[in-house]
Structure 1
Amino acid sequence: MRIIDLLKPEAITLGLDISSKDDAINALIGLHAAAGNLKDKDAYKAAILAREEQGSTAIGDGIAVPHAKTSAVKAPALAAITVKNGVDYGAPDGKPSDLLFMIAATEDGDVHLEILSRLMVMLMDPDFTAKLRAAKSVDEFLQTIDAQEKIKYPDEEVKPAEKEAPKGYRILGVTACPTGIAHTYMAAEALEKKAEEMGYSIKVETDGSGGAKNVLTKKEIEECDGIIVAADKNVEMARFDGKKVLKTSVSSGINKPGELIQRVVDGKVPVYHSDGSEEPDSSEYSEEKESFGRKIYKHLMNGVSHMLPFVVGGGVLIALGFLIDTIAGNANVGGTFGFTNPVASAVFWIGKAAFSFMLPILAGYIAQSIADRPGLLPGIVGGLFAANGFTFKAFIANQGLVGDDKAVSGFLGALLAGFIAGILVNGLKKAFSWLPKSMDGIKPVFIYPLLGTLLIGVVMCVLNPVVGVVNIALSNGLSSLGETSRVLLSVVLAAMMAIDMGGPFNKAAYVFGTAAIADGNTWIMAAVMIGGMVPPIAIALATTFFKNRWTKEELKSGPVNYLMGLCFITEGAIPYAASDPLRVIPSCMVGSAVAGLITSLFGCACPAPHGGIFTFIVVDHPFGYIIALVAGSIVGALMLALLKKKRVNA
């Protein structure tokens, strides 16, 4: 690190017309604040004045170097001014000071002493200081310092004094999103980069589609100052009991990491308790309570994220069974199509088995999100009842686990089962809170699952006949939609995938498409997937063929979006949408809508809810699907080229 690295152009003012030491101090502190070097301007000023009380930091020959080491500083930095006629700074030689540097240093480490030492040596050269005073511009001032430093220290860098090995990370983080593909890692990267920039140590655990990575240890949790949980689904929270925890959305982790980190560092977040209570924080910065809608969204997304592997794996295997049977010449066999050929049969039924877990897993993990692990079993059982249409009628007739086709409540029933099971188990926790602490070990593994499962079974036997009627009506309604209605729905769902690219609108369309697969309406999923693939590819095309509309950084990242779009990772478009939402989002929506329209016109259907181009082999009318993807992406790219202005420096 060199002096030039710590002195920003915006922290330099030349030829100031001021008349007092206080004016000089205020001017230098103002430059530090304007350059973003300070966390607390008033606290930093107090530290500077406290240092001046110990003795003037003027060194004579018209030079002064005020400095302070305080937690009010974000990262080590310099500010500099030259003064027309100088000011009385209490210099030992009595001369007015007209060349002033102010050092802002953090509490951890002694980098300011190293900088001070190097500055002092350089400022002893009268020719050097004369050049600084004569500088006509900030650039000339900086170039003079850089040249002198290279002469005096050609092969050296200022390094912070060796610090004791840190006891642990000051800040910990956990990021998670429902699909765990993009937002999870984008939030983690944003937090890590901002923490490094602010000079804080951080470790971020990512709860993505591949499971938890970089997992926080018990020791790290005990020793940290606080934890940032940026998640749109529930994560394991009991381990944070008694620690300061800032809970927020994964998008906040991406868009405002600095604000989140600062809150934790300042201690302005509530203390988390696993029993559901929080020690309130009286500061104006305390995190707001989660809204009811956001809580519902998080519980739902926890179920969806755990359900996806069963839907994807099972759906693709079932489709492969049909494909193998078609290749084997059994396309016209009727009712046994898909499992006539022995190989096709094996693949089909394995897929069918995996797919059958879809609704129980959805309900189970919604309940687990609400009531923690004791809610898992009741939720799964509730989902199983919803999927099979179990009712009292069969049980009373001693028919066992025989479902009623008219009482299959399906996706809607599984949603209700998950939420009701979670609420029931939480109710049981309160109902049995009077039991002695010696029973704490048996309650979550015996009492809550046992009674919760019994209660949800009874509830679902009552609900299934009612919700089943609604579910059948919806399914029949979708199946009987006319051509115009199908086209319109496909266009709307595809466009929704591009509105917020991973946000609530995107997820609502995706969940609707996934639910439709369970009812056999796979044409809906075709529109949803194609709508999510278009935005990244449209942006990639636009950065490839219309380079004068983008920054160098955007051009560099553009080609990656070809791969992300083909893999159905819509989030690749987020940085571009965030930087220019009024042009990028409408362009992507139109491109996705066009793709959805063409998909519907070709009669495409997709039995898998994820996988992008890798699922095209099992799509009905794959060539039409490819045409839809290409056309939608081109339309989106052309709209981007039309709406975005040419850059002057392109």
Structure 2
Amino acid sequence: MRFVAVTACPTGIAHTYMAAEALEQAAQAAGHQIQVETQGSAGSTPLSIADIRAADAVIFAVDVGVQDRERFAGKPFVEATVKQAVSGSAGLIDRAKTAAEQQTSTEPAEPDPVPRPPAEPAGTGFGTRLRQWLMTGVSYVIPFVAAGGLLIALSFALGGYDITEAPPVTERFDAGSLAGWAALANQIGSISFDFLVPVLAGFIAFAMADRPAIAPGFVGGAIAVVVGAGFLGGLVAGFLAGAVVGALRRIKVPHALAGVMPVLVLPLLGSAVVGTLMFVVLGGPIASVTVGLTDWLNSLAGVNAALLGLVVGTMIAFDAGGPVNKAAYTFAVGGLSTGSETALELMAAVMAAGMVPPLALALAVTVRAKLFSPSEQESARPAWLLGASFITEGVIPFAAADPLRVLPSIMLGSATTGALSMAFGSTLRAPHGGLFVLPLVGGPLLYLLAIVIGMVVSAGAVILAKQIGRAPSGAGVGTSAVAG
């Protein structure tokens, strides 16, 4: 059979391409053909219309909304998360084959002249779609956070923390001084941060109701900033805009009006409704909640801060890039918009905890290679770089092969690192970059120490776990692959 597939994860860095590779290998092993469109951060080459028409079925391995999903209208399809595609690609290929065979056996003599796009796949629960909408918004926010955070961190490194008091560069810019360039970097970064909430809201709405919902989402997100509702207000505005525009799209209108609905009527009515609700009804209460959350974060210190680091560190390792991991990451990224010291400490803790799992397994393989299968030993080499780059998904080959031993071990190490990072007071404005943004970390030496301790804890735990139940000799390296 011939399949086409789309893979996409929130950050578009690791899972997207790992899922594509896994699907390609599984299809080849089963004797099928497949072409994969990776909607990742590096951009994508869209599948051709000819490839889509020739395909027997479509596979969506996504954690976010699929771009231009209407291209696949009328095709049988299956849907899964990218993590399921990485760890269970063969089963996903079998599901696609079954879907294609079922459609062939029930295909009517006269095909539907206007096939419905698979916008809301059967069997996909509301919770899954809700997570995909949220992760779509987060995926578009991350570049703004990365650019703004790195520029602000760089400005502090060049000009000190009082650089925020510098006059606007439009009034005075000294190209011959380091302070002038620091002020420029700070003000560019701050403007980038101003887009966070509107972009989040706009692309949540886009994921829910397509392009007509972008304007209402951005308007709602901008109002959330104006009324002080912050990141939480942006979430509410995005979901509200998507729901409002989605409801308006279901209204049947005369054919003469259909052409202007998506470019005029839907953005106009959606923006009016969302803007009114955010200004008059929802903005104030959400702003109060946001203030309370910010005050709570700022009040954390000592044991309480370490406990928060332990919790988010555990969440980061729990499913190695899955929804629990992304929930902790989203919470940390959302805190960056407040600019509070504790929020910066939380971002540092989340990134440190996320680096630990791949680094720990790479260390464990280096120390006790014979406990691991040949394929796991091969995975250890790229795991060093993936871990250093804050790509937690680098641990997936190990976790998929031996989840009952690996997952508790990496959770233990990441929790340790998260707690230590918070206790040490390390700070970070950049939401990504791993060790490559170490010069921008507040308290870098202690931060490195927290990561190393977590690595050692996880590596030691997984080595110990893999020795439990092993035969004294002759068991081979396959024992780790059958556990769990």
Q: Same fold (TM over 0.5)?
A: yes
1:481 paired to 2:300: yes
Shift of 1:636: 1.1
Unaligned runs of 5+ in 1: 1-168, 279-286, 390-407
Shift of 1:273: 4.7
Match of 1:625 among 447, 451, 463: 447
Residue deviations 1:507-541 (CA, integer Å, cap 9, x gap): 11101111111112211111111110000000000
Report the equivalent of 2:17. Answer: 185
| Counterpart residue identity of residue 6, structure 2 | V
Report the equivalent of 1:61. Answer: none
Q: Is the 8 A contact 2:69 2:119 kept in 1?
A: no
Shift of 1:555: 1.3
Shift of 1:334: 8.4
Q: How does 1:235-314 map to 2 (within 5 A)?
A: 235=66, 236-266=68-98, 267-268=100-101, 273-274=115-116, 288-314=122-148
With over 3 angstroms needed to count, the CA separation of the structure-2 counterparts of 1:185 and 1:474, relative to structure 1, is: same
Q: Distance in 2 between matches of 1:548 and 1:181?
A: 31
Q: Is the 8 A contact 2:140 2:203 kept in 1?
A: yes
1:201 paired to 2:33: yes
Match of 1:448 among 266, 270, 273: 266
Larger deviation, residues 556-565 vs 267-276: 267-276
Residue deviations 1:545-575 (CA, integer Å, cap 9, x gap): 1112111221122121111110000000011
Unaligned runs of 5+ in 2: 108-113, 170-177, 478-484
Shift of 1:428: 1.2
| Counterpart residue identity of residue 288, structure 2 | V
Q: Distance in 1 between matches of 2:194 and 2:384?
A: 34
Q: Structure 2 length as normaliser, TM-score?
A: 0.88
Match of 1:430 among 227, 245, 250: 250
Larger deviation, residues 355-364 vs 236-245: 236-245
1:361 paired to 2:195: no
Report the equivalent of 1:467. Answer: 286
Report the equivalent of 1:634. Answer: 456
| Counterpart residue identity of residue 216, structure 1 | L
Q: Is the 8 A contact 1:544 1:559 kept in 2?
A: no
Shift of 1:601: 2.1
Q: Distance in 2 between matches of 1:186 and 1:241?
A: 26
Larger deviation, residues 506-515 vs 235-244: 235-244
Higher helix share: 2
Report the equivalent of 1:84. Answer: none
Structure of larger gyration radius: 1
Match of 2:419 among 589, 593, 597: 597
Q: How does 1:21-36 map to 2 (within 5 A)?
A: none
Report the equivalent of 2:234. Answer: 414
Residue deviations 1:416-475 (CA, integer Å, cap 9, x gap): 0000000110111122x2321x43322111111111111111111021111101110110
| Counterpart residue identity of residue 560, structure 1 | P
1:220 paired to 2:51: yes
Report the equivalent of 1:171. Answer: 3
Structure with the larger RCO, 1 or 2 (CA within 8 Å, 6+ apart):
2
Report the equivalent of 2:335. Answer: 516
Percent identity for Structure 1 against Structure 2: 41
| Aligned residue-pair number | 449
With over 3 angstroms needed to count, the CA separation of the structure-2 counterparts of 1:548 and 1:518, relative to structure 1, is: same
Higher strand share: 1
Report the equivalent of 1:383. Answer: 221
SS in 2 for 1:606: coil
Q: Is the 8 A contact 2:163 2:182 kept in 1?
A: no
SS in 2 for 1:434: coil
Residue deviations 1:573-611 (CA, integer Å, cap 9, x gap): 011011111111111111111211221221111111111
Q: Distance in 2 between matches of 1:332 and 1:366?
A: 35
Report the equivalent of 2:437. Answer: 615
Residue deviations 1:184-220 (CA, integer Å, cap 9, x gap): 112111111111111111101111111223x211121
Shift of 1:370: 0.4
With over 3 angstroms needed to count, the CA separation of the structure-2 counterparts of 1:367 and 1:273, relative to structure 1, is: farther
1:494 paired to 2:313: yes
Q: Distance in 2 between matches of 1:563 and 1:246?
A: 33
Q: Is the 8 A contact 1:246 1:269 kept in 2?
A: no
Residue deviations 1:363-390 (CA, integer Å, cap 9, x gap): 000000000111111111111111121x
Q: Distance in 2 between matches of 1:269 and 1:479?
A: 57
Q: Is the 8 A contact 2:231 2:334 kept in 1?
A: yes
With over 3 angstroms needed to count, the CA separation of the structure-2 counterparts of 1:627 and 1:277, relative to structure 1, is: closer
With over 3 angstroms needed to count, the CA separation of the structure-2 counterparts of 1:333 and 1:562, relative to structure 1, is: closer
| Counterpart residue identity of residue 508, structure 1 | A
Report the equivalent of 2:384. Answer: 562
RMSD: 2.2
Q: Is the 8 A contact 1:175 1:250 kept in 2?
A: yes
SS in 2 for 1:190: helix
